[in-house]
Structures are given as C-alpha cells and as structure tokens.
C-alpha cells in the first residue's frame, strides 16, 4: 500500500481537500501509476457541483493526467513498470462489439463499474481516514498515485513532457477529433465553433489542419478572441452584439449557413443555434459539450428534413489505446499544438485555485 497526497472531494459543492490517502496495490489486469501532472476539466467541476447523476462521494476526481507505471497486477502485458502512460477515461478492450466496430470508440467493457466509481471487480483501491473513496471516470488523476484497469491506459513516448501531454487525455483530443474524425471537415469549408475554451480551441485547430478556409469563433467572453485567432479562427463574434439570434447572424454572414458547426459548451439552447446555423442541404453540426442531466435538445424537424445532420462525439471519436500514442507523436513532431493550451501551472495543493481560474474563463 502506498500513502500519498490526493485531492479528495468529500461532498458535492465543497472545495477539494488535500489529504493523505492509501492506494492499494493493483489486482489482476490493473495498473498503478505515479501521476506526474494532471489538468482540470469542466467535467470534474460538473461532478463536484452535484449535478452529475452518476456522481458519488467521497471521490478522487480528475481524468486528464500523465505519469509513470509504478507496478502492474497479474496478467498485465501491454505496459510494465517504468513505462510513460496516459490514463484513459474511455478504455479500449479490443474485444467488445464496440471495439470491434470501426464506427465507434465507446468501449463498454467496464462502463457499468466505472460509472459506479469502482474498479472492474466492484471495489475501490483508495482509502482515507478509514473510509473507502470512490474512483472517477476510471482514472482519478487528482492523486499522486492511482490505479486503473489495464485497458484504460495508453503507453506513450517516454520523451514527451507530461505536464503538457496530460491534456491529450481529454480536452485537446476531444476537440481535435470532433473536427477530423466526427465531422470530417473538408478543405475550403466554413466552420463555426461555439465556446472558445480548451475544447473549442482544439476544434479550431482541427478545422485549420483539415483545411477549412473560414473558421468563426463564437463566445460571449471577448478576452478569448485573441487566443482563438492564434489557433486558426479567421474571425470571432459575440451573440450579445446583435439583437438577432446568433444562428441568423451566422446564416447572413456565410451566404446560407456554415458547412460545419461545433457546440463546445454543453448548453442545449446553443446546441439548437449551432444546428440552425448550418447550411441547408449539407450542413453538419456536432455536439461536443456535455449538457446537465435531464436536459433535452429541440429543433423543428424541418431543419433535418432539409438536409442538415446532427451528430455527437465522445473523446473525438479516437479509439483510445491505439490513438493517444499517435496524438503524442503528432505533438512531438509539431503537427498539433499542446503547449499553447496551457495557461497556468500550479502546485498540486493549489488545485482549488485552478478550478477558480477555469470558472473565471482564465
């Protein structure tokens, strides 16, 4: 058993608490990882807020991490002690019908137990002050050591800087893949990206790499426009600057609508606007943002009858074990940006400040 520091969420709506936790050794087909760096994501904040129907407490959150394998359980063959790895919130078992289908990356092998906050055998590897602590998204990267299923880990280039590539565990991969895998943006196309946080910037990067000629960034926070243009946005607009609905503004700006739109916020009203900003006959709108529990999307069916397509994506459609190492290689060869997404680097005990910076849009 390893004793180490972790940021424990004891209950919903309260700040994280840095505690000493015990991390049990990995069982069969499990891997214990020394986490070197972790990023914070809105999904962590969503669960912490208490709005997540799958949220269980007390829990160690975090799902964008990178580290070194400390030990492996019986039967683990893909990684060994000392390997550099990224934990995966969407695993890839290679055996289930989802893994065998090239149309999806949604491996279901450990979905039920992962959603309940436990390892595949139904138990936890974390204890604190004599209490069992739940796992989160199969990763729990807000801990100096964590235990994950062996299908939830990708071995990456040992030379990669872990304080950067941890971002490929969720946000950057999600946005980039939404553009290149899910939408399959084509050269010369016009794109609209709603929400210019980390995921939105990654969508912009993907659209640019795919050869889009016009990329419109949409956000009410104008402080984000300069960064969006660095990533490839050709122009940025705020919905608050017009009395007309944003979809009407975009349809006018683009002679009938955009070829591809992306919702990167998790707001069902914006999801509708993103669809309706698409061009009749061929426009494709991709939902990337995760809406709160119980919310529903709506539009007039005529929008779809007249040739628009509404799609969704999770982790950018990447089959995780196969593709995360390739994404790290693309970063190392400077095909995709990662360093530019990092705004602040804080010590672990300042993790609550990191959430405050995220909520303030900084």
Spatial distance between the Cα atoms of 271 and 133, rounded to a whole number of angstroms: 35
Task: Write out the two tokens for 111.
Answer: 């979905």
Contact between 32 and 2 (Cβ < 8 Å): yes
Are 28 and 43 within one domain?
A: yes
Q: Please count the structural domains in the chain.
A: 2
C-alpha span between 247 and 272 (Å, rounded): 9
68, with CB counted inside 10 A (0-12, 13-18, 19+), is: middle
Residue showing tokens 């243009």: 229
The pLDDT, as a whole number, for residue 293 is 85
* 8 Å CB contact between 349 and 243: no
Q: Is the domain of 109 the same as that of 234?
A: no
Identify whether residues 79 and 199 lie together within a single domain.
Answer: no
CA-based radius of gyration for the chain: 20
Percent of the chain at pLDDT exceeding 70 = 100
Above 90 in pLDDT, residue 137? yes
Strand 126-128 relative to strand 64-72: parallel, antiparallel, unpaired? unpaired
CATH number of residue 201's parent domain? 3.40.50.720
Q: Are residues 216 and 276 located together in one domain of the fold?
A: yes
pLDDT by residue (tens digit) across 23-73?
999 999 999 999 999 999 989 999 999 888 889 999 999 999 999 999 999
d(CA 317, CA 103) in angstroms, rounded, equals: 8
Q: In which domain, by residue range, is 271 found?
A: 175-313
Residue 114 has pLDDT above 90, yes or no: yes
Residue range 130-140: mean pLDDT, rounded:
98
State phi, psi for 22 to the nearest 5 degrees: -105, 130
Whether residue 91 is predicted with pLDDT greater than 90 in this model: the reply is yes
Q: Are 204 and 193 in contact (CB under 8 A)?
A: yes
Lowest mean pLDDT among 24-33, 40-49, 91-100, 143-152: 40-49
Mean pLDDT of 214-225: 97
Using pLDDT thresholds of 50, 70 and 90, give the confidence band for residue 361.
confident
Q: What is the pLDDT of residue 76?
A: 98
Q: Are residue 122 and residue 90 in the same domain, yes or no?
A: yes
Domain of residue 28, CATH code: 3.90.180.10
Kindly report, residue by residue over 185-212, the tens digit of the pLDDT.
Answer: 999 999 999 999 999 999 999 999 999 9
Mean pLDDT of the region 92-118: 98
Dump pLDDT digits (tens) for 220-246. 999 999 999 999 999 999 999 999 999
Token representation of residue 141: 């990267």
Residues 256 and 193 in one domain: yes
Lowest mean pLDDT among 117-121, 235-239, 355-359: 355-359
Percent of the chain residues topping a pLDDT of 90: 96
Q: What distance in Å separates the CA atoms of residue 298 and residue 286, rounded to the nearest whole number?
A: 14
pTM: 0.96
Cβ atoms < 10 Å from Cβ of 350: 14
- 8 Å CB contact between 155 and 231: no
User: Quick one: which of 164, 199, 166, 191 has its CA closest to 313?
Assistant: 199
CA pair distance 236, 184, nearest whole angstrom? 22
DSSP string, 31-66: EEEEEEEEE--HHHHHHHHT--TT--SSEE---EEE
SS3 category, 130: coil
Are 146 and 201 in a shared domain? Answer: no
What's the pLDDT at 74? 98
């Amino acid at each position: 058993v390893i004793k180490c520091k972790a940021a424990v969420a004891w209950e919903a709506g309260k700040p994280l608490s840095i505690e000493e936790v015990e991390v049990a050794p990995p069982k069969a087909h499990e891997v214990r990882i020394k986490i070197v760096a972790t990023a914070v994501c809105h999904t962590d904040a969503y669960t912490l807020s208490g709005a997540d129907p799958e949220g269980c407490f007390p829990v160690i959150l975090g799902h964008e991490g990178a580290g070194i394998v400390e030990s492996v359980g019986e039967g683990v063959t893909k990684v060994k002690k000392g390997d550099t790895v990224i934990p995966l919130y969407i695993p890839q078992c290679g055996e289930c019908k989802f893994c065998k289908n090239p149309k999806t990356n949604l491996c279901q092998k450990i979905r039920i137990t992962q959603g309940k906050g436990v390892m595949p055998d139904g138990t936890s590897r974390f204890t604190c002050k004599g209490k069992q602590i739940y796992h989160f998204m199969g990763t729990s990267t807000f801990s100096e050591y964590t235990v994950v299923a062996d299908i939830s880990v990708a071995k990456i280039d040992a030379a990669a800087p872990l304080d950067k590539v941890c971002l490929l565990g969720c946000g950057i991969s999600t946005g980039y893949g939404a553009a290149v895998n899910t939408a399959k943006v084509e050269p010369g196309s016009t794109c609209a990206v709603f929400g210019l946080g980390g995921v939105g910037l990654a969508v912009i990067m993907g659209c640019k790499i795919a050869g889009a000629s016009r990329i419109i960034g949409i956000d009410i926070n104008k402080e984000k426009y300069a960064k969006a243009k660095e990533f490839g946005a050709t122009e940025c607009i705020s919905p608050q600057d017009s009395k007309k609905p944003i979809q009407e503004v975009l349809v006018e700006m683009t002679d009938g609508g955009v070829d591809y739109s992306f919702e990167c916020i998790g707001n069902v009203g914006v999801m509708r606007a993103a669809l309706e900003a698409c061009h009749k006959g061929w426009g494709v709108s991709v939902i990337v943002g995760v809406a709160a529990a119980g919310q529903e999307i709506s539009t007039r069916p005529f929008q779809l009858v007249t040739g628009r397509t509404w799609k969704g994506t999770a982790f950018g459609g990447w089959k995780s074990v196969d593709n995360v190492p390739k994404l790290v290689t693309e970063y190392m060869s400077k095909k995709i940006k990662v360093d530019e997404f990092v705004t602040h680097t804080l010590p672990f005990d300042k993790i609550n400040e990191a959430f405050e910076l995220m909520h303030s849009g900084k």
